[in-house]
Amino acid sequence: MPAQRRSERGAGTLEYVGVTVVAAILAGGLLITPVHERVAGAFTQAVCAVIQRDGCTVPSGGGDTRTPLEQATSGEYVALGDSYSSGEGAWDYEEGTDFDDRDDLWPFNDDEEDHNRCHRSSHAYSQILSQDNDFAGGTTFVACSGAEIPDLGSANDGNTGEDPQYDALNDGVSLVTISIGGNDLGFADVVKDCIINGAGGVGFIDSCQEKHDQRIEDKLPELAQQLLDQYEEIRRRAPNARIVIVGYPQLFVDNPSDSYGNLLFAEDQVWMNQKAAELNAMLRDVAHQAGVEFVDPTEAFHGHEIGSDDPWINDLDLGGPGFSIADPSSFHPNAAGHQALADLVQQQLENPRYP
């Protein structure tokens, strides 16, 4: 049987000893000070720190005894990230985030024409969370399809009117959610190359696995350090916020068959699932190092991947904007998938589990 995480088992002897010592010290404090509420708050904080039990409410200071959900909704909610946060593939996009004046046959003035395909959907998980909770400071939605790490701290040159996502952060923010890193890892190129030349494709040209496997292995440690820096920057800019990192769902069923609908061989689908699992494992580890929260959607999406009877992820959709072969909604969660993501984040807000 695999070892249980600390938060999933009962408190051990050392934990009880730690709690007892803390209790004795604080009980002594009660004899010399009349500030019972402050000591009680410190006691709760100390016990939570010792046992690290899921759902344990750690006061933010003084006699603060808010629940985790009350802490998360006490200020503004800011939704950052890439297409898996913006709602690419869930449709019903916000006005101004689904247009491209460059979609014409005259390419020489592309840099002069406005374009914004951030595809912020009303069905995105952040918008569901905003509807289901009463955030005292409202909600700011700046996630953008195609976003990479540089777009967090700098203006997004690929989309007109998109300021740095970090501009939305301040000390009045009580919750931040973000998915980021998939584009930096080049996952869109991986899928495209597997469609063009997968493991069962043209033999004298490198397959997508041969082209990307070592590159991804080399890139993951570098990406981990970049993300650690970003999580710490989010904490610096939003010091009072709970920060929830949202991972990426597995795209394909565990035992896929060759699919002529999405032009992918079974072997490549299995391999891409493995790469997604490696990315999520890295995200979990970095979240742990940064002391922020992490939600992994893999288990929740089991039985709802591409190739299942009830997919929560869009299959390949040919005929994208401009001269693109595939629509960007391909291989992204649909509205049902975003509802599942919202449910997972909601559970995390109410009963936090830490990586």
**292-335 pLDDT, tens per residue?**
999 999 999 999 999 999 999 999 998 766 556 679 999 999 99
**pLDDT over threshold 60, residue 205:** yes
Q: Do 180 and 309 fall into the same domain? A: yes
Same domain, 344 and 215: yes
pLDDT of residue 101: 79
**Same domain assignment for residues 141 and 23:** no
Do 258 and 170 belong together in one domain? yes
Percent residues over pLDDT 90 in the chain: 71
> Which residues are CB-contacts of 195 (< 8 A; sequence separation ≥ 6)?
262, 263, 264, 316, 326
- HSE of 144, CA atoms in CB hemisphere, 13 A: 26
117 band by pLDDT with thresholds 50, 70 and 90: very high
pLDDT at 44: 39
Q: What confidence category does residue 108 fall into, taking pLDDT thresholds of 50, 70 and 90? A: low
Q: Please tell me the total count of domains within the chain.
A: 2
Asked if residue 266 and residue 211 are part of one domain, the reply reads yes
Residues forming a β-bridge with 264: 259
Which residue range(s) make up the domain with 272?
Answer: 68-350
Regarding whether 182 and 295 lie in a shared domain, the answer is yes
Report residue 293: phi and psi, to 5°: -95, 155
Task: Tell me the three state secondary structure of residue 10.
Answer: coil
Question: Which of 296, 182, 301 has its CA nearest to residue 244?
Answer: 296
Q: For residue 47, give the amino acid letter.
A: V
Tell me whether residue 100 is in a domain: yes
Q: Is residue 1 part of a domain?
A: no
Q: Return the ∠ at Cα 154 (arms to 149 and 157), rounded to 5°.
A: 95
Judgement on whether residues 73 and 47 belong to the same structural domain of the protein: no
Contact between residue 311 and residue 335 where contact means Cβ atoms under 8 Å apart: no
Q: What is the CATH number of the domain that holds 131?
A: 3.40.50.1110
Residue 126: pLDDT over 50: yes
Residues 77 and 46 in one domain: no
Asked if the structure places residue 56 within a domain, the reply is no
Clarify whether residues 229 and 296 are in a common domain. Answer: yes
Map 143-190 to HEC letters.
Answer: CCCCCCCHHHHCCCCCCCCCCCHHHHCCCCEEEEEEECCCCCCCHHHH
